[in-house]
Amino acid sequence: MTKEKKQGKLIVFSAPSGSGKTTIVRHLLGIEDLNLEFSISATSRDKRGTEVNGKDYYFMSAKDFKSKIKNDEFLEWEEVYRDNFYGTLKAEVERIWALGKNVIFDIDVSGGLRIKRKFPEETLAIFVKPPSIDELKIRLKKRKTESDDKINMRVAKASAELATAPLFDTIIVNDNLDKALLEAKNIVSKFINS
């Protein structure tokens, strides 16, 4: 990935599951002035429900994913569980920059920090924080999409993720969604126009 020509900015949103980052990212994508395009992640996991290849994720086999790692085709990647990979393809970011747009990521904490390290000047890394771990647990239960065991696992992971918040450029506490949406818009707009 070259840096010669003027390219778009990279806006990273990371947070524990249930913090509201996806809601914030979707809201920002709807604001035309921000000129954002969503970075679609690659994964080796199976499709779920109505997920569509090239829209929700770039689905590929673990073998293909490992081959792309070997060929240095990822900006960042992670093996979440054995042979269950997630990552950002360099070609995806280049595709968005070629459209003259800024890239927005809805990505896990470690992936977000890796992008920030690789592109420190071009990246704004935003951490979305729930008001509390208890509130996070309530939000995850309200979703009714996962078992109690899975929720407990996410809550345990959230504690570790919350510890990384100070490593991000800015933290948005999502205790009031309207306030968080406005704060996110203002922070992103200021960064893009700087």
pLDDT digits (tens, 9 = 90+) for 122-176: 999 999 999 888 888 888 888 777 788 888 888 888 888 999 999 999 999 999 9
Evaluate whether residue 101 is within a structural domain. Answer: yes
Instruction: Decide if 71 is inside a domain.
Output: yes
160: annotated binding-site residue? no
User: Please, are residues 24 and 174 in contact by the beta-carbon 8 Å criterion?
Assistant: yes
Residue 100, marked binder? no
- In this predicted model, which residue has the larger pLDDT, 62 or 1? 62
Residues 55-64: tens digit of each pLDDT? 999 999 999 9
Which one is predicted more confidently, 5 or 187? Answer: 187
Which of 187 and 130 is assigned the larger pLDDT? 187
Q: Is 22 annotated as a binding residue?
A: yes
In a domain, 2, yes or no: no
pLDDT of 127: 97
54 annotated to bind ligand: no
Please report, for residues 86, 112, 120, 129, 183, the alpha-carbon distance to residue 78 in angstroms, rounded to integers and kept in the order given.
6, 11, 20, 22, 30
Please report whether residue 98 resides in a domain. yes
Q: Of all residues in the chain, what percent carry a pLDDT higher than 90?
A: 72
**Mean model confidence pLDDT for the chain:** 92
* 91, part of any domain: yes
Confidence bin at 5 (pLDDT 50/70/90)? very low
CA torsion through residues 62, 126, 169, 176, sign: negative
Range of the domain at 83: 10-192
Query: Is 189 labelled as part of a ligand binding site?
Result: no
Q: Is 20 annotated among the ligand-binding residues? A: yes
pLDDT of residue 172: 97
Q: For residue 4, tell me if it sits in a domain.
A: no
Residue 98, CB-side half-sphere exposure with 13 Å CA sphere: 7
Radius of gyration of the chain (CA): 17
- The verdict on residue 147 lying in a domain is yes
Q: Total domain count for the chain?
A: 1
Half-sphere exposure of 67 (CA within 13 A, CB side): 5
Q: How confident is the model at residue 6 (pLDDT cuts 50, 70, 90)?
A: low
CATH code, domain with 139:
3.40.50.300
User: Is 112 labelled as part of a ligand binding site?
Assistant: no
Task: Report yes or no on 131 lying in a domain.
Answer: yes
List the one residue out of 81, 79, 80, 88 whose CA is nearest residue 112.
88
For residue range 60-101, list pLDDT tens digits in order.
Answer: 999 999 999 999 999 999 998 788 899 999 999 999 999 999
